[in-house]
Structure 1
């Protein structure tokens, strides 16, 4: 397969990533054009040992990161009024967008940025803390297992958010949501008294517009019946880095407009 045939299916997605990274489609497209020109001038810069999309984004990242202004802290640029992803520092911004908007795995994103996977995870964690610095919120946990609830509380607070309550039943969840008015809900589906966290969330949402992250060992129960939106799903047993990433993702998409897709997976 020729190089042009290899990269053609991925160009629309690269344009999306470039726009998200730069803030405008015009600026993003300028970098995409630079990538194409670089590949024409030096086809060997495309690493055919990698999956095509990974290799293409890697060339883009090499070019984007070679421009000095892209490595500057956006908060040091006067009068920008940046919010959400544009206010993230450059490397965490790239790691966050690659894994959330573009759907790369951490191992694939590490290849794109030419870093170790452990460093990639640290960059995503940094992005989460920076997002929390902008949109720190109150979090309601709906979880009947005390140890899991404590783990979730520590994870959420490590990002800079505040846990305002932990509900163990449907009734407690609804009452806490009405009284605390959280900005994010983390919910199990099967609760201690046999009630449903999904039913509780469906009762809460008509009166409270809030993103929901379901953390459950029974994901199939979210895939049947009426599904609340916006919702994100993490399966148990969960990884700490996954919870942090999805919490940040849920809050980012809550506060972001435009054509970035709302991802719902874990």
Structure 2
């Protein structure tokens, strides 16, 4: 009994990590692990306490509870929840738990060759969901080009560039970007703050302001419209801001009310 308990304790950190990802919350994951350990200790015939066997037990207990994963606003978790349940577990076992693919397939009762294809498709699906579609609103062609190259270098998509408010609204309507890099002073006397506010009236769109006038939002009490990167900027500044926007949960705010004509 002591030997079995010792093995269980050695596996505990891995079980908790997997169960928390499986169940969608720390509390649910820890409760699942507690049930799994209790079921092993109460069963004298449960001699297999290897990690694969314990992962199988966690999966079985999770299914007994109904197996409904908690939905999350976090982009990475949301991308995983969009997968089929078996594919989600395969992804977690291989990518989170570092289980060899043949072993993960065995845990889930999949044929190894089938698991190869399913894991490849799951990874591509997650990657696609985490690829931002970015609109660049900047009237300086050289800066716009530099921003576009940075975006593409990160593996994201540039859906279009705009130098005026009308162009920006047209690009947004046609391509439905998931993020905008926005200058404040635009061509033809337009203002990126007004572009951001108009886009917010229509639908929520995260905006990162890249501007030589970083205090303008603060002066107007509009800091909530988005973070500011002062010019001159480095590519590292842009990359860090985009990464935060893509991988951190974004509040889905209601559109600003349209004032009556």
- Provide the TM-score with structure 2 as the length reference: 0.48
Larger gyration radius, structure 1 or structure 2: 2
Report the TM-score, using the length of structure 1 for normalisation: 0.47
